[in-house]
Chains A and B, each alone.
Chain A
Amino acid sequence: MSLFTRTNRELSIRIDEFFDTIEIGVLIFKEGIKAYVNGDDSAFQNHLAKIDDLEGKADKLQRSIENDMIVHSILPQQRSELIKLLWQLDEIIDTSKQSLNEFYIEMPHIPSSMSHEFISLAEVSGNAAEELIPAARAFFREPHLVREKLIKVYFFERETDKAAFQMKKKVFHELNDLSLAEKAHIRYITHHIESISDSAQAAADMLASMAIRQML
């Protein structure tokens, strides 16, 4: 039994660490987009390196948590759902890293009239992911609070959708001086930033049903 106590304690620390990593990753992503849009290249490079490290750390933590849960038969009934949830959370930091990498590789041209929109899209999409973390933490201690914490996730996801829609509309309807290739590129980048909040929503849906089952 002492083995279980020790393993469980270590595992709960690692799960918290995993959540911290995701949360910091999202913050770095937001800062990275801001730096790119503002043309601060050294800050952007710095954020890119940081998010790369964090993504690697999250992957490692995710694998070790999964492994220990299976080997030590921890939470046998919720295990498969929890593993899926961790995978979905990891998807957030993966997408964040991928987005920053795409900015680095493809160097999209952001018109100055769209700078503000891009920063606020990254902000609101990141907020959806950020608000997911307290809900995920609550699942482990106070599952009855999960649903109310998830309300913010759903709110920010809707706001992201609206913002992305407006941006795409503006690019194709108003910015006539951009070429079609530039328009398509911006649409693609917008879609990528938007997908962070989509991942957060998918994780929120899973978390909501898991919390309900915990409460029954």
Chain B
Amino acid sequence: MIFLFLTSGLFLGWTLGANDAANVFGSAVGSRMVSFTRAAVTASVFVILGAVLQGSGAAGTLGRLGSVNAMGGAFTVALAAGLTVYAMTRAGLPVSTTQAIVGAIIGWNFFTGNAVDTGALTQIVTTWVTGPVLGALFAFGLYHLVKISRRRIKVHLLKYENWLRMGLMVVGAFGAYSLGANNIANVMGVFVPSIPLESADFGIFTLTGAQQLFFLGAIAISAGVLTYSRKVMETVGSNLLELSSEAAFVVVLSQALVLFIFSSSALSGFMVRIGLPPIPLVPVSSTQVVVGSVLGIGLYKGIRNVNLKLLGSIASGWITTPVAAGILSFLLLFFVRNLFGIDVGHAVSPLSAGGAGANTSTIIRYSIPVLLLIIAVYLVYLVLSEKKKTERLNKKYYE
């Protein structure tokens, strides 16, 4: 039953992987600097690492906004967010998973009579604005730095391209890690309060209950990356963001830095230790940070290069997405409770624990090594097929 409820979250994870991996590797793949297989494998591995190792910070903030205390509620909230993302994408409207899940949680709060934590909401909304702005600032500064360095070091264009190729892989891996760390909260955050799992000890490492959920969510994201992101990556790289390799490198690095900043508990703790206010750990829309970064590069090249339509699309997404997701969440919760009689949560939230949690723990504990094995086999297959392709292409056609 728990796995059935988790399907909506996993679907959300799959859509996130299919769409948002393009923000990390889209420019590199679209411009043929990095092969899709290499990008997809790297993104999958690092999304899982980021989600499991660093995903708890942003998920905690979403939990403060609304601690969805029934599995039925979590399922419906994730479903509402997923459907909103799907419908708005189909309609060609700017949409972000982050904003959809926040709207859906607020819809749950309204439906169950829970008060919305305005502090957490303000923190989240502020980050929506600061994310793209920070992305633009980072991109502006980094692009300047890259250009200055290129001029100083006088490296051959081919060698430089080689460095960029490697750089794109490294920052892509960092970007995927940050995406997993920051955006796993969107996928699995709502399930954490309602599915309390026991910690699982695997001998060399231990996964907490939340980390096990994050792992499952990250697998769904990886599945999205491996199965459906190719088209999106190629479209992003060649049509929407016509970026040079240097600009692509800077955009991915800026995005990775912004996402990392808003998901790193260690960095936030460091800020507190040196007497500065803590960094809010909030899921940020990777797409909007990428758009912000592209605008930053446009700003560097001259103000006339800034597409004001893009700014408008970001701002409209801040309002339309959460409102649409909130209304849909409210309506779905109504139907799920009244039509199917499923508990979707209540105003006062005592945490349920016990048998179900223990059983699920056992299932998840055994499913994780199986999933890891499947991934390993799939990765080996991908690497081998890539090698075969390269060998075929390496044939000399001239003498």
- Which B348-399 residues sit within 8 Å CB-CB of chain A? 390, 393-394, 397-398
- Indicate whether B32 reaches chain A with its CB closer than 8 angstroms: yes
Instruction: Report the stretch among B75-83, B157-165, B195-203, B222-230 that lies at the interface.
Output: B157-165
Measured in the bound complex, the distance between the Cα atoms of B158 and A12 in whole Å is 7
- Which A1-20 residues sit within 8 Å CB-CB of chain B? 1, 3-5, 8-9, 11-12, 15
Instruction: Report the stretch among A34-42, A73-81, A96-104, A147-155 that lies at the interface.
Output: A73-81
Q: Is the CB of B158 within 8 A of A74?
A: yes
Interface size class of B (residues with CB under 8 A): 20 to 34
Measured in the bound complex, the distance between the Cα atoms of B31 and A74 in whole Å is 10
Q: Is the CB of B398 within 8 A of A12?
A: no
Chain B 231-259 interface 0/1 with A at a Cβ cutoff of 8 Å (1 = within)? 00000000000001100000000000000
Measured in the bound complex, the distance between the Cα atoms of B396 and A64 in whole Å is 9
Measured in the bound complex, the distance between the Cα atoms of B158 and A15 in whole Å is 10
- Which B94-135 residues sit within 8 Å CB-CB of chain A? none
Q: Chain B residues near A105 (CB, 8 Å)?
A: none
Chain A 72-99 interface 0/1 with B at a Cβ cutoff of 8 Å (1 = within)? 1111111000000000000000000000
- Indicate whether A142 reaches chain B with its CB closer than 8 angstroms: yes
Q: Is the CB of A73 within 8 A of B33?
A: yes
Q: Chain A residues near B165 (CB, 8 Å)?
A: 1, 4
Q: Which residue of A8, A67, A77, A213 contacts B162 across the interface (Cβ within 8 Å)?
A: A8
- Which B157-177 residues sit within 8 Å CB-CB of chain A? 157-159, 161-162, 165-166, 169
Measured in the bound complex, the distance between the Cα atoms of B156 and A15 in whole Å is 11
Give residues in A with beta carbon < 8 Å to B. 1, 3-5, 8-9, 11-12, 15, 60, 63-64, 67, 71-78, 139-144, 213-214, 216
Q: Is the CB of A4 within 8 A of B398?
A: no
- Indicate whether B90 reaches chain A with its CB closer than 8 angstroms: no
Q: Chain B residues near A67 (CB, 8 Å)?
A: 397-398
Q: Is the CB of A74 within 8 A of B394?
A: no
Q: Chain B residues near A72 (CB, 8 Å)?
A: 393
Q: Is the CB of B31 within 8 A of A76?
A: yes
Measured in the bound complex, the distance between the Cα atoms of B158 and A82 in whole Å is 12
Q: Chain B residues near A63 (CB, 8 Å)?
A: 398
CB distance from B162 to the nearest CB of A (A): 5
Asked if A12 meets B31 with Cβ closer than 8 Å, knowing A64-B398, A67-B397, A67-B398, the reply is no
Q: Is the CB of B161 within 8 A of A75?
A: yes
What is the chain B residue whose CB lies nearest that of A60? B398
Measured in the bound complex, the distance between the Cα atoms of B159 and A15 in whole Å is 13
Asked if A140 meets B157 with Cβ closer than 8 Å, knowing A63-B398, A73-B32, A73-B33, the reply is yes
Q: Is the CB of A144 within 8 A of B158?
A: no
Q: Chain B residues near A12 (CB, 8 Å)?
A: 156, 158-159
Q: Is the CB of B156 within 8 A of A141?
A: yes
* Interface pairs (10), CB distance under 8 Å: A1-B165, A1-B166, A9-B158, A11-B158, A71-B393, A76-B32, A141-B155, A141-B156, A216-B244, A216-B301
